[in-house]
Amino acid sequence: MNQENPKSWEEMLLKYKFAKTILEAQLQILLKEHEHKTGKNCVEHIKSRLKTESSILKKLESKGYAKTVENVEKHIHDIVGFRIVCSFLSDVYDIVNLIKNSNYFKLREENDYITNPKDSGYISYHLNILVPIYLEEKLEYVEAEVQVRTVAMDFWASLDHKLQYKLPKEIPVYLERELLSCSDEIKILDTKMQRLYDIVKKYTG
């Protein structure tokens, strides 16, 4: 491994651990406050993960970059990852706006793969945010990726991920079509469930 300064590498990894801890706490605060104000819980569950050192190095290698701290911070955007799974489409956008409007984070990039799904059929909303880390000597911002999606979208993405590991590099055309078809059905299901939810809200206030 090309580590020009092992101590710098360890310090970098430590900052990402701090960012995960801080982001977890801040998201809980945001979501609990939102639940208190609106009287509804939009979130089914939250998952988080921190990429391992070997996974980070493997990704750098696949992108063709030298294994340095600078390249990690510049080119790897999902070392800290959170997935927020919601019940309905409207909940997804409520949570997205909640995070975007927070004064605590800085928004680096967003990708609405719900409106514009990936070619594979993948659907989700991605936010890349900068999390403030207060160290002894200075304030730093560490990048993290937050994915927000419905239960149905999460179901598709989870099974697609498992299938991809079992498939060869060149996916047969008919399998691609089937995966896209399932993705389309997921979108239809989410739209139907949202419509039913809107009807129910009229009766419950």
Rounded average pLDDT over 145-172: 82
- Find, among 78, 89, 76, the residue nearest to 148 by Cα: 89
Task: Quote the pTM value.
Answer: 0.90
- Find, among 87, 129, 85, the residue nearest to 111 by Cα: 129
Question: Which of 75-79, 128-132, 176-180 has the least mean pLDDT?
Answer: 176-180
Q: Give all strands (DSSP E) within the chain, no chain letters.
A: 43-50, 80-86, 106-112, 125-134, 139-150
- Identify which has the larger pLDDT, 74 or 5: 74
The whole-chain average pLDDT of the chain stands at 90
Domains in the chain, please, with CATH? 6-156 (3.30.460.10)
Is the confidence at residue 120, as pLDDT, over 90? no
